[in-house]
A = this chain, B = another copy of it.
Amino acid sequence: MKLHDVAKILDADVVGDGAIEIARVVHPSEATSPSDLALAMNKEMLAALEGSVSRIAVLGDDTALPEGRLDGYVLVTRGRYAMAGLTKAFDKPVHAPSGIHPSAVVEETANLGNDVCIGPFTYVGHAAVIGAGTVLMSNVTVGAEAVLGDQCLIHAGARIGERVRIGDRAILHHNASLGADGFSFVTPTQSSAEQAKESPSTDTVDVRNTTIVRINSIGTVEIGDDVEIGACTSIDRGTISATRIGSGTKIDDLVMIGHNVVVGENCMICGQVGVAGSTVIGDRVVLAGQAGIADHITIGSDVVVGAGSGVGANIKSGMVVLGYPALPKSKTTEIVLNMMRLNRLFEEQSSLKKRLTAIESGNEKG
């Protein structure tokens, strides 16, 4: 690939020699040859270009570029978006198994589409359906009656539970779990947690959860098209309906999605987020890392929840919330600033009190 090919992919212009052949795509600091294409679309990368041996680059801004530093470069307007095009062009696709590995076990009743590839030690259960072109890497489990769409990529160790349904082009990463049973238990009478919730002002409970009865999860999990699910993420099956993830939604590693949850389309759910049972999340919602969402609430579309937030109540569409408990972002910012100057408040109050006492005693004497 030549520099002008990259420009074409990125719909951008070449400055200098577009005919230079590209060896590799690298961080500027990792170039080992003048023909390594240095990615320098942000400040940090641009700074690293200085000491680099690379003579070709992709830049987001060339105003500070010394004359003659590069033999050619591509100038892009939105560097981060260019990264998508670049990594696609220079992608290193997985070493997919060719066909069905002899060690794989596929039940006779399973139904495989054309060009399905199945790696070593992968098990496809009774009556499971695998769509055309889908790749199951090694050590994967597809439970009985599960249905996978076309062109999915299921990485090693992923577990797809029985009756789970997945759309087309889904990507599941290492050891992800779909369709474990929901965490759903009940006590014959009011439980301690129910009592605590009911009495917000008391700090003790007196009921005892001596009997815990299991609610079985007879529902399933349904995943739309173009969904990506991170390593060790766990999405539990619904009680009687399905837990649902809308098309286009991306979920990071170690995320937990509880039973009966419904997540809309094109959401971004970052690492270690937890969504408790029966909560409904709209479309295009962003949940930043480690955010926790309570059960049985509703998050509107386009909501942005900041990292580490604890959301305990419904949120209207388009809101940006932050904090524990999560509040509108400006309110949490105000609270944090106020907390930091509380010492001054205490000191000032003490001073006001003294001044007041002085006046009062003056008045008395007067």
Interface residues, chain A, with chain B CB atoms under 8 Å away: 25-27, 30, 39, 78, 80-81, 83-84, 87-88, 90-92, 94-95, 101, 103, 105, 119-121, 123, 125-126, 137-139, 141, 143-145, 155-157, 159, 161-163, 171, 173-175, 177, 179-181, 183-189, 191-193, 196, 200-206, 208-210, 212-218, 228, 230-234, 236, 239-241, 248, 250, 252-254, 256, 258, 266, 268, 270-272, 274, 276, 284, 286, 288-290, 292, 294, 302, 304, 306-308, 310, 312, 318-321, 324-325, 327-331, 333-336, 338-340, 342-343, 345-346, 348-349, 352-353, 355-356, 359-360, 362-363
Contact = CB atoms under 8 A, between A and B. Distances in A.
A52 to B, nearest CB: 13
B25 A240 contact: yes
A175 B232 contact: yes
Interface of A is mostly: loop
B25 A87 contact: no
Centre residue among A30, A84, A294, A349 by max chain B CB count within 10 A: A84
A217 B139 contact: no
A155 B183 contact: no
Given A203-B330, A345-B346, 7 more contacts: A161-B174, A177-B253, A183-B250, A196-B304, A203-B320, A208-B302, A210-B284
Given A236-B253, A256-B272, A209 B284 contact: yes
A348 B126 CA distance: 71
B218 A25 contact: yes
B338 A343 contact: yes
B274 A26 contact: no
A78 B292 contact: no
Contacts of A308: 292, 310, 324
A241 B27 contact: yes
A80 B302 contact: no
